[in-house]
Structure 1
């Protein structure tokens, strides 16, 4: 397995676009070619060699040593291989990724995994707003794949999410699952206030909700078989990182009744 290393020389002072730094785009390039790759669309944006010390051989793995909230689009469009980041990243990490793995040692900015269709993102810190969500112009947010966040998640996670699984050890912020049309948000710590506004379909799973919208109906306790299937699937993808298996009995809140109301919040405690 070949590894290409990018050592951040100093904290950047402007936002940088790292979408060019994925294995499939770097395959066959020399280190000189890689050093000349622009990290943005502007005429004055720096090249990769201006920001990073680059070493190694292009292959399946990219290692970015150091981090910054100004490193945007890390792993955007990833279609295979692995990207390891030794610190924080900015917005749009994993946007539109199709396959492969991104592991981030620090926090991430907004729109993590937006429009992703596959692959795995593992964040060892916390994630910003609109995780798996839409930015202006997008029809849907996350469309597949899996995200694991060890910390907390900002507001409106899963905005217009259609497929995929997002798991957080910490808490989801306000309005998680906003306008969601499919997929799963799963928290081990609970949801902040008013999750699921205009939730059409999809599932939110956690032990508690700070404040429930009045447009959700309490359906009592149920024993859906799908939770055992979901637990097995997640365990198969994450292995030892998987959360504890879901209990057989949960309390169901159905909604959002302000729209078609085919979504659900499943309370595990």
Structure 2
């Protein structure tokens, strides 16, 4: 498989929008053309050494928290970043795969509609969330974060799945209208404020909102379907299958209350 390589020559001193560096936008361009592409006030050649041949794969060697919009709009192929990235990584992504070998900033996968994102570090606030001006947050796709996820993950999320090996921060699932947040470690304080629909899954919650109704222990068949679906999508990246019996809390009763927090511990 042909790979186009971008080696970071020096760390940026201000935020840089890398949304132009996806296979579909670079198709048909020579290396010289790519080096001349504008990245705000800079050109690609000001930040990167470019080598290789464009195909379906892009590798960015070196990262920075100031590299924003990495993989934004990705609609096929793959992007691998060997280092951290800034905000809005994978925003509006439709298909393909984005691998971030480091931390990701705020609004990871905001407005994404499909594809797979894998972060080996942690993710900032509002992962899968709606940024100001968006009607909804994440609309599809699957995100796996090996570390922790910041506060208000899934803000106004509509579809898709975010899986964290670590812990979700405060107010995860805020105003969520669909989709799944799944943690192997637990939720921080008061998850699900104004949760309308959607599912939060994890072994524990630091502090449950009083507007969630305790429904006792249940056996939801949908969790077996979810476990199988995630395993088929992610393969070796998939978490362990969910238990048959979970403890359900329904809410948020401060709104229509059709969401749920399912405790596996």
Structure 1 residue aligned with 2:256:
260
Tell me the TM-score normalised to structure 1 length: 0.98
User: Superposition RMSD on alpha carbons, in Å?
Assistant: 0.4
The Cα of 1:58 is off from its aligned counterpart by 1.1
After TM superposition, the structure 1 = structure 2 runs for residues 1-269 of structure 1, keeping only pairs within 5 Å, are: 1-40=1-40, 45-269=41-265
CA distance in 1, matches of 2:39, 2:93: 18
CA deviation string 1:26-81 (max 9, x = no partner):
011000110011112xxxx1111110000011110000000000000000000000
CA deviation string 1:151-209 (max 9, x = no partner):
00000000000000000000000000000000000000000000000000000000000
CA deviation string 1:64-108 (max 9, x = no partner):
000000000000000000000000000000000000000000000
Q: Which runs of 5+ in 1 are unaligned?
A: none
CA distance in 1, matches of 2:138, 2:238: 20
CA deviation string 1:192-247 (max 9, x = no partner):
00000000000000000000000000000000000000000110111111111000
Tell me the TM-score normalised to structure 2 length: 1.00
CA distance in 2, matches of 1:246, 1:39: 44
CA distance in 1, matches of 2:59, 2:84: 13
User: What secondary structure sits across from 2:156 in the alignment?
Assistant: coil
Structure 1 residue runs of 4 or more that deviate by more than 3 Å after TM superposition: none
